A and B are shown apart, each in its own frame.
Chain A
């Protein structure tokens, strides 16, 4: 991909981001933040690539840490967002929700 194509994608993505995110109500800003936080864990792909092609112990080590960090970011981020949103979603039908009684963590 040439630089101009990449810059085009970048600028359009920025506008899409502003449009989509400004529609999220303030009530849901914490889950939004934690979800977008999980999405930037996509840097782990970079970790997979550099680790997958590394060829000395230092690069293996860097790659290992980068992948582990990225995986924490992705897995932790999506799971914690899911937990939070589960709390909001349950509110819709209070009667059924108490019957389901999802196990509480805290």
Chain B
């Protein structure tokens, strides 16, 4: 018996409950526009999910309780433990992992639904079959792509772009093969071959791996966001196959969200999504370190930095991925507190693609108890930069590089930046002069007003804070 008929048998009550559940999702996300209501919104969305799950469990004819209870118990235990243990700096890979298991679930559900449709022995209606195939392919791509993204973010595999010779051709061939096999399956909807279906799942898995491997670590936020959208759409496809309105609406909502975030990030990097996916850029300097001649720069000790900061009126702190790597959010907040005690106006300027996930820096600074009002977005802080006494760059690089504005030949030309160079003085906390992921030198480091503090972000922030207290 197909799942399709049973959902229908659930009738108006189950549909009404599903409508209630997706309304809570939409309302919950709507509450996410402000930090004071977002927590409640998340809770409401979770209640919506609970309603949807209970409704489904109550559907007429659902059986195999052993399997269901075991699956729920194992998944819940893993989810609870993982979410309690994860550190805020590791949030991008956590989201990648959750996204991956979601995609994997979609692919498996599509496979199982395919088997159940065959067992009925009828011609599978195309409005069920095509969504099943879509869900299988996208779910499988998303599962494997997310796992690769997770492995890259967790440093389990190289974050550099890894690519085979003729990679684009291989990917294109795989994609054509997958689509071709799907057409063959759909054309033979009276008795489609399960062997071909499994081959499609496997080919999509290989495609997921190959598509994400060549993308560098710094472009992972875009990849995760795109895979999030993909998993959402595959969930919506599963909803078409199972005639489940909650799946359709929730999946589409996630698809929209992922699409918006992907486009916003691409805009913030001044690159097209296609360029990010196919250019094999964003991993490491392409030409190696030899291309950059040694240029004069000013090196600062913690004490000099403390004096510069301690006698300023206004300070803007610009955090980047280096802050996350060094777990420096608490130390930076302490430094900010010390400066505020001296009556200095301290704010934090957040570039849209700082960190490895959109909004990642905000979460880290919130973890360190930096008030929400002190986190300022790029377009709001830039007009204030010329009036800022000192800008402190902590572990950020390309998002502050003035060549994005001044040099039309720069690889990052046109990328919106935080205009740190406009501030009266600049302090850059960085381990070395090495270039950022774009592999280009940063003129900011060699400006007369710039002082470089070469140290680990956390240690440097602690040392400078200690020196400020002694002023």
Residues of A within 8 A of B (CB): 1, 3, 6, 9-10, 13-14, 16-18, 20-55, 58-60, 62-92, 94, 97, 105-106
**Chain B interfacial residues counted at CB < 8 A:** 117
B25-A39 in contact (CB<8A): yes
A28-B71 in contact (CB<8A): no
Question: Residue on A with the closest CB to B24?
Answer: A39
B359-A50 in contact (CB<8A): no
Chief secondary structure at chain A's binding surface: helix
* A20: contacting residue among B26, B49, B258, B360, CB under 8 A: B26
A49-B3, A53-B62, A67-B67 known; A42 and B261 CB under 8 Å? no
Closest Cβ–Cβ distance, residue A106 to chain B (whole Å): 5
Contacts of B78 in A (CB 8 A): 68, 71-72, 76
Residues of B within 8 A of A (CB): 1-3, 6-7, 25-26, 28-30, 32-36, 38-39, 41-43, 45-46, 49, 52-53, 56-57, 59, 61-64, 67-68, 70-72, 74-76, 78-80, 82-88, 91, 94-95, 98-99, 101-102, 104-106, 108-109, 111-113, 115-116, 119, 127, 224-225, 228, 231-232, 234-236, 238-240, 242-261, 264, 350, 352, 357-360, 362-363, 366-367, 369-372, 375, 377
Contacts of B248 in A (CB 8 A): 6, 9-10, 13
B261-A33 in contact (CB<8A): yes
Contacts of A91 in B (CB 8 A): 35, 366, 369-372
* A79: contacting residue among B83, B104, B224, CB under 8 A: B83
* A70: contacting residue among B30, B43, B75, CB under 8 A: B75
- CA of A72 to CA of B100, assembled, Å: 10
B67-A84 in contact (CB<8A): no
* A49: contacting residue among B36, B62, B72, CB under 8 A: B62
Contacts of A18 in B (CB 8 A): 256, 259-260
* B95: contacting residue among A37, A65, A75, A86, CB under 8 A: A37
B366-A88 in contact (CB<8A): yes
Contacts of B243 in A (CB 8 A): 1, 6
Closest Cβ–Cβ distance, residue B404 to chain A (whole Å): 19
Question: Residue on A with the closest CB to B39?
Answer: A85
Contacts of A10 in B (CB 8 A): 236, 240, 248, 252
* B260: contacting residue among A21, A47, A79, A81, CB under 8 A: A21
A27-B105 in contact (CB<8A): no
Question: Residue on A with the closest CB to B236?
Answer: A10
Apart from the given pairs A63-B112, A105-B85, 11 other A-B contacts in the complex at a CB distance below 8 Å: A9-B245, A17-B254, A20-B253, A29-B362, A30-B363, A36-B258, A40-B231, A65-B71, A67-B75, A74-B79, A76-B80
Closest Cβ–Cβ distance, residue A91 to chain B (whole Å): 5
B109-A66 in contact (CB<8A): yes
B39-A89 in contact (CB<8A): yes
Closest Cβ–Cβ distance, residue B30 to chain A (whole Å): 5
The 7 nearest A-B residue pairs measured at CB? A71-B75, A17-B256, A67-B71, A75-B79, A29-B359, A76-B79, A52-B62
- CA of A87 to CA of B357, assembled, Å: 17
A39-B250 in contact (CB<8A): yes
B108-A42 in contact (CB<8A): no
